[in-house]
């Protein structure tokens, strides 16, 4: 019976394993190999060694796109974590219609990214946009938003809070997993809501915060393509030249596929290093109750 179950388990897992090798591991190995070649999609790749990587040091757009991506990643991850945690706390309160509110907050996360970009493109219009209309009605100066070099990334950071439904859902799951007796003990000791939040909720939520932080950083470093492609084309003055958009331009518009693969390998290595650093430092701030009894 056990052998039969083992065979069925292997058979059911084979499609997933095959998909991983075909769509993840295979392309990754191919990209690493192609990064050492000169390949323009037409013709055979020519081996050039480390030449593509040496060009990166003199590539202004590479440096600019790396800065823009990190700027966006830091701002969007921090803001998204704070806003989603705040909404998760409110949505965890037992009030009538709580399920409806949770659904409304999650719906934007499943909206197609192109549709979201088009909506925000309208909102950010400097003359006819709703946001500037609200600003003018409040007596505030109108902003250029994505059409200004200094405002475009902050505008995209604000826009990133539109799709935090998944993060809110994960925070809600973490909040519901906190033992109720911890709050009861804190209230018996006279703890206010702030003390309960600081000394009970936040420490018990650190594993969930750790997960959302890690996934948020990985997603932000790989993101930005839709915004740049639909809304700004990397401008103004390369101020929104996200790394993924630059890879796309290099490979499919400029025809430098080997160089684009080198760019992909660099961001892949950066994500791996940051992931290891986050895991390494998590021991100092992530609290696992089962391990510390």
Helix segments in the chain, DSSP class H: 2-20, 26-34, 51-56, 60-91, 98-106, 113-123, 130-137, 152-159, 165-176, 180-188, 193-196, 202-221, 225-227, 243-248, 257-281
What is the spatial distance between Cα 151 and Cα 149, in angstroms, rounded to a whole number?
Answer: 6
What's the CATH code of the domain at 215? 1.10.3720.10
- Residue 242 in domain: yes
Count of the separate structural domains present in the chain: 1
Chain segment 260-275, per-residue pLDDT in tens = 999 999 999 999 999 9
Q: 293 near 66, Cβ under 8 Å?
A: no
Q: At what angle do helices 60-91 and 98-106 cross, to 10 degrees?
A: 170
Q: 104 near 87, Cβ under 8 Å?
A: no
Chain segment 66-97, per-residue pLDDT in tens = 999 999 999 999 999 999 999 999 999 888 88
- Residue 48 in domain: no
Coil, helix or strand at residue 245: helix
CA angle 217, 221, 222 (to 5 degrees): 120
Does the pLDDT value for residue 1 go beyond 90? no
Record the pTM. Answer: 0.91
- Residue 193 in domain: yes
- Residue 39 in domain: no
Q: Residue 293: its pLDDT value, please? A: 44
Q: 244 near 225, Cβ under 8 Å?
A: yes
Q: Which domain holds residue 118?
A: 59-291
- Residue 2 in domain: no
Does the pLDDT value for residue 289 go beyond 80? no
Q: Residue 96: its pLDDT value, please? A: 85
- Residue 29 in domain: no
- Residue 72 in domain: yes
Does the pLDDT value for residue 20 go beyond 70? yes
Chain segment 211-257, per-residue pLDDT in tens = 999 999 999 999 999 999 999 999 899 999 999 999 999 999 999 99
């Amino acid at each position: 019976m056990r052998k039969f179950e083992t065979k069925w388990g292997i058979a059911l897992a084979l499609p997933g394993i095959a998909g991983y090798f075909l769509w993840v591991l295979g392309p990754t190995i191919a990209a690493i190999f192609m990064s050492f070649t000169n390949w323009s999609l037409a013709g055979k790749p020519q081996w050039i060694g480390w030449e593509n990587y040496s060009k990166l040091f003199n590539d202004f757009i590479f440096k600019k796109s790396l800065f823009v991506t990190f700027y966006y990643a830091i701002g969007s991850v921090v803001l998204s974590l704070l806003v989603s945690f705040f909404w998760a706390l409110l949505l965890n309160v037992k009030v009538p219609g709580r399920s409806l509110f949770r659904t409304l907050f999650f719906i934007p996360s499943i909206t197609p990214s192109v549709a979201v970009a088009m909506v925000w493109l309208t909102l950010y219009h400097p003359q006819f946009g709703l946001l500037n209309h609200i600003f003018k009605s409040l007596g505030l100066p109108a902003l250029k938003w994505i059409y200004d070099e200094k405002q475009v990334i902050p505008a995209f950071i604000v826009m990133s809070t539109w799709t935090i439904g998944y993060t809110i859902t994960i925070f809600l799951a973490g909040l519901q997993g906190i033992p109720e007796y911890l709050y009861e003990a804190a209230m018996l000791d006279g703890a206010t809501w702030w003390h309960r939040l600081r000394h009970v909720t936040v420490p018990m939520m650190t594993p969930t915060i750790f997960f959302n932080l890690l996934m948020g950083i990985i997603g932000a470093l790989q993101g930005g393509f839709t915004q740049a492609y639909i809304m700004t084309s990397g401008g103004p003055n390369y101020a929104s030249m996200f790394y993924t958009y630059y890879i796309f331009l290099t490979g499919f518009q400029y025809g430098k596929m080997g160089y684009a693969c080198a760019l992909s390998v660099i961001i892949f290595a950066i994500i791996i290093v940051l992931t290891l650093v986050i895991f390494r430092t998590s021991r100092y701030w992530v609290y696992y109750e089962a391990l510390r009894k």
